[in-house]
Structure 1
Amino acid sequence: MREVSVRGIYLRLVLTTFFWGGTFIAGRYLAQTVPHFIAASLRFLFALAGMLVFAWLSGRAIQWPRGRQWGVAGLLGLTGIFAYNAGFFAGLAHVQASRAALIVAASPVMTLCAVKLIQGSAWSLRALAGVALSFCGAVLVVSHGDPATLLHGALGIGEVFIFGAVVAWVAYTLAARYLAKGLDALSMTLSATLCGTVMLLIPAAFEAGNGGWPPIDWRAWLALAYMGLLGTSLSFVWYSQAVAMIGAARSTQFTNLVPVFGVLLSVLLLGEALPWASVAGGLMVVAGVLWVNRQPS
């Protein structure tokens, strides 16, 4: 299989963020119709099947982890699959898809902060200004345009769950960058997905045992297939390839396109309204990320 050019990596990252933007639409529907861990488990069962088909069609041999590599795969599964989806579906049960997508826009800045802390590199004034702008934008989104309400316990449980998902995704990105060595992107992504799916199936079994197997209509199956095949298997492989080629800090900056696609799709497909605070805050977050990335690398 031929190597992908840097331009090709950037194109794949844009398509990846488009697919991820669509997962907020599908996830919003699933979160209101299917128990959360059952939905997450089915999503990743689709994803596992998709990755295996992708490997077969591309002629790639799967390299399963050995020894300590299984620990890395387990950490990736715990953060990017189990923890992220637990927060993702729980949050979308309480907040609109467009609002959740805007909160996720904080992940690039959080990743940048973590990378600088790990590397011990100095902060420039431009970077500090960009981070501050993004932080203020995120506060505006979360507080519905009134930051003072955050001091009085007005932060909703849905926002807390979505923010937890963002933290989990940052941890996944860092682990993929600094710890996932020795395996190609497809093999490590497949191994991590397998570990995360096993973790999800445990609480899913309790959900099924307590409430019985839920009725799942064709829309839910379509949403699950979309999230599993496009929003997970294909996107995770492409994202992992990008992290390996251009680094975590640059790759994660593309996720600021996720809220753009998520909001547009939410308005077009779900008819969700956009408060001025969400629009302004989202623009501030994206502007802050772009400002940071104007630095020489």
Structure 2
Amino acid sequence: MPSRHPLHQRYPGLPDLLLLLVAMVWGSSYGLAKQALQFYPVLGVLALRFGLSFLLLLPTQRALADPAVRRATLGAALPLGLGLLAIFLCETYGIAHTTAANAAFLISLCLVLTPFAEWLLLGQQPTTDALLAAAAALCGAWLLSGATHLQLNSGDLLILLAAVLRAVVTSLTRKLTADRPVATLALTGLQGLLICLGCLLLAGLNGGLPALPRQPAFWGDILFLVLLCTLFAFFAMNYALRHSSATRVALLTGSEPVFGALFAVLWLGETLSASSWLGGLLMVAASLWAVRPGRLQTATA
């Protein structure tokens, strides 16, 4: 007879494991997004990525037949979808106009900002442990990026804005989904639909989009972004934020630049300095510190 206990109670480490996997796939997404942008404009890449995600998740909308689930899911979908639209617009345009090092450093500022966004939106004052882990992870990201002489251009400012929005949306997701009958996969699909429609609207206002590329490399990038960086990552984030704190989630996914660096070395053939490797190790240590037993409180639903 199957257990009646929820997954997060039977496997208490599941949310943390999912978040580390999210960090892995999101770390690789920067290089893949840059490759895709060589074939197609920003709005087109985003519309295609999230439109396909919605179509693949269309069967999950059947969960909305339950009135309580529908109210909770739709109530969360609109603000979170619009927030994610703003994040991805800032990130993708920013990546196109700045270096990978600056982007890795600036997006990691959400580690420091999330405890304060959680305090503002949820009334949960950050613990000393959370602040220390966030500060250590930020120092690690700084070393990893090699951005010792950071000069902000338009792309950098967009990435910085994306980091602020990430902190806010992470905390808002926790606020709108915790202890509510939200259908996680249906919510993921609706978020994708809102991002797709938003990008198509903006593209229409700017003269429309060109014909779709035919290069296999482009479609390989898109499939990876859809299946792993969107479907899996959004589901894992939405699931984890229902059973963990926003600060804990931000710290675990904060190892994203480490996996981005590994992807660049192993797949793109790039090299990293000793200070970059030191920064990566510091970020991993900060993430392990954040999830050590008995320290940071984990909210359960």
Tell me the TM-score range normalised by the shorter chain. 0.7 to 0.9
- Out of 170, 174, 183, the position equivalent to 2:171 is 174
* Structure of higher RCO (CA pairs closer than 8 Å, 6+ residues apart): 1
Aligned to 1:212: 210
Are residue 223 (structure 1) and residue 221 (structure 2) matched? yes
Q: Confirm or deny: 8 A CA contact 2:82 2:195 kept in the other structure.
A: yes
What secondary structure, in the 3-state scheme, does the structure 1 residue paired with 2:63 have?
coil
Letter in 2 for 1:244: R
Listed as ranges, the gaps of 5+ residues in structure 1 are: none
Aligned to 1:47: 53
What is the alpha-carbon distance in structure 2 between the residues aligned to residue 234 and residue 246 of structure 1?
18
Q: Confirm or deny: 8 A CA contact 1:16 1:231 kept in the other structure.
A: yes
What is the alpha-carbon distance in structure 1 between the residues aligned to residue 181 and residue 164 of structure 2?
25
What is the alpha-carbon distance in structure 1 between the residues aligned to residue 275 and residue 39 of structure 2?
29
What is the alpha-carbon distance in structure 1 between the residues aligned to residue 88 and residue 248 of structure 2?
23
- Out of 42, 66, 74, the position equivalent to 1:70 is 74
- Out of 152, 156, 161, the position equivalent to 1:159 is 156
What is the alpha-carbon distance in structure 2 between the residues aligned to residue 69 and residue 15 of structure 1?
25
Listed as ranges, the gaps of 5+ residues in structure 2 are: none
Distance of aligned partners of 1:274 and 1:90 in 2 relative to their CA distance in 1, 3 Å threshold: farther
What is the alpha-carbon distance in structure 2 between the residues aligned to residue 293 and residue 8 of structure 1?
12
Aligned to 1:259: 257
Letter in 2 for 1:100: A
Q: Confirm or deny: 8 A CA contact 1:100 1:162 kept in the other structure.
A: yes
Q: Confirm or deny: 8 A CA contact 1:103 1:141 kept in the other structure.
A: no
Q: Confirm or deny: 8 A CA contact 1:78 1:196 kept in the other structure.
A: yes
Aligned to 2:184: 185
Distance of aligned partners of 1:192 and 1:128 in 2 relative to their CA distance in 1, 3 Å threshold: closer
Normalised TM-score (structure 2): 0.79
- Out of 261, 268, 271, the position equivalent to 1:270 is 268
Normalised TM-score (structure 1): 0.80
Mean Cα displacement is larger for which, 103-112 or 120-129? Answer: 120-129
Give CA deviations for 1:133-173 in whole Å, capped at 9, x if unaligned: 44455566678213xxx5xxx21322222222222222222
Q: Confirm or deny: 8 A CA contact 1:38 1:207 kept in the other structure.
A: no
Q: Confirm or deny: 8 A CA contact 1:17 1:258 kept in the other structure.
A: yes
Aligned to 1:9: 15
Q: Confirm or deny: 8 A CA contact 1:91 1:161 kept in the other structure.
A: yes
What secondary structure, in the 3-state scheme, does the structure 1 residue paired with 2:20 have?
helix
Mean Cα displacement is larger for which, 9-18 or 43-52? Answer: 9-18
What secondary structure, in the 3-state scheme, does the structure 1 residue paired with 2:81 have?
helix
Are residue 20 (structure 1) and residue 26 (structure 2) matched? yes
Aligned to 2:90: 87
What is the alpha-carbon distance in structure 1 between the residues aligned to residue 95 and residue 201 of structure 2?
21
What is the alpha-carbon distance in structure 1 between the residues aligned to residue 243 and residue 207 of structure 2?
41
How far 1:188 sits from its partner (Å)? 1.9
Q: Confirm or deny: 8 A CA contact 2:115 2:130 kept in the other structure.
A: no
Give CA deviations for 1:84-115 in whole Å, capped at 9, x if unaligned: 21122112213344653454333333212222
Give CA deviations for 1:178-236 in whole Å, capped at 9, x if unaligned: 01333221122222222222112211334553x63353521111111111121111221
Letter in 2 for 1:246: S
What is the alpha-carbon distance in structure 1 between the residues aligned to residue 71 and residue 254 of structure 2?
36
What is the alpha-carbon distance in structure 1 between the residues aligned to residue 186 and residue 267 of structure 2?
35
Letter in 2 for 1:172: V
Distance of aligned partners of 1:206 and 1:271 in 2 relative to their CA distance in 1, 3 Å threshold: farther
How far 1:76 sits from its partner (Å)? 0.8
Letter in 2 for 1:38: G
What is the alpha-carbon distance in structure 2 between the residues aligned to residue 281 and residue 182 of structure 1?
40
